Amino acid sequence: MNSTHNLNIGGLVGLGFDSSGEFMLTVSHSGRGVYSTRTWERVSRDPRTVYPENGYSVGIGPIDGEMIPITEKNYDTEELQIATPDGRFELRYFEGIVEVREL
């Protein structure tokens, strides 16, 4: 059964996945968050603003200190589209919401 989850993440700059694909790091204008790709629940949050540098951002919580490759949103369209590393989910960001759709 396919499922869809909506994650409210206002001001998203970009997102990426740790090397195991178990966690997703979000980077926004109001900080960073880590989500479990098993449940899509936020498991960690840091309100400090730390933007990606050279396509990477430093992880927090369960991926603390890891350099996570970040895909930034398209600033012309304000959208971002990416799949999880295992290809099981497609994520689309638009107007403050990341829609997670199981493929």
Domain containing 42 equals 4-102
- pTM tops 0.85: yes
Tens digit of each residue's pLDDT (9 = 90 or more) over 3-31 = 899 999 999 999 999 999 999 999 999 99
Tens digit of each residue's pLDDT (9 = 90 or more) over 19-67 = 999 999 999 999 999 999 999 999 999 999 999 999 999 999 999 999 9
Kindly state the tokens that stand for 28.
């926004």
How many domains is the chain partitioned into structurally?
A: 1
How far is the CA of 60 from the CAs of 13, 65, 77, 95, in angstroms? Answer: 16, 6, 28, 25
Q: Is 63 helix (H, G, I), strand (E, B) or coil?
A: helix
Kindly state the tokens that stand for 92.
């689309």
pLDDT at 87: 96
Q: Is 99 helix (H, G, I), strand (E, B) or coil?
A: strand
| Nearest-angstrom CA–CA distance, 49 and 85 | 26
